[in-house]
Amino acid sequence: MTKRWLTPLTLAVALAWLAAVCGPPAALLAWREQRLAAVAGPDAQADWDAFRADMRRHSGRDGPVQRKVPKSAEPPERVWLRDYVHLAVIAWVALVGVLGGVVAALALGVARAGRRSAAQNQPAGDRDHQEQDERDAQHTGEGKHG
């Protein structure tokens, strides 16, 4: 016997919520491995060093924009992917998990309320006749009708 709360709609909503919570972090971590290999190479470091040197040359000039030389000796993308990606995963799971859980609960509540009100909107006479027909069939089976 299945539980009343375990319906196909509940299962579908739970699977959608699980996919929304786990899918993007899994994709980010898979992409991270590929991208980290690309930005860890000597070409990426050379590009970053050239950018910092260019910023250093332009930082002392007068002009409409004051430029600051980046302090990091490594490209920011490499630092973020290596040291801080876990923070993005934790934030995603926490925020989407809570927000998605609330939205899923609201959707299930609305769906259940709609089913309940549809059952209550059935004409009372039809319900009474249906119940009487069921009792008559049961009494006939038990031999209570003469």
Each residue of 106-140: pLDDT tens digit?
988 888 887 777 666 666 555 566 777 777 777 77
Residue 103 included in any domain:
yes
Eight-class DSSP state of 40? T
Residue 95 included in any domain:
yes
Question: How many structural domains does the chain have?
Answer: 1
Q: CA nearest 49: which of 122, 20, 36, 57?
A: 57
The residue range of the domain holding 19 is: 8-142
Q: CA nearest 76: which of 107, 97, 55, 98?
A: 55
Provide the pLDDT for residue 42: 92
Provide the pLDDT for residue 43: 94
Residue 105 included in any domain:
yes
Residue 2 included in any domain:
no
Provide the pLDDT for residue 57: 83
Provide the pLDDT for residue 69: 85
Which residues of the chain fall below pLDDT 50?
1-2
Provide the pLDDT for residue 125: 53
Residue 3 included in any domain:
no
Residue 54 included in any domain:
yes
Provide the pLDDT for residue 49: 94
| Whole-structure pTM value | 0.64
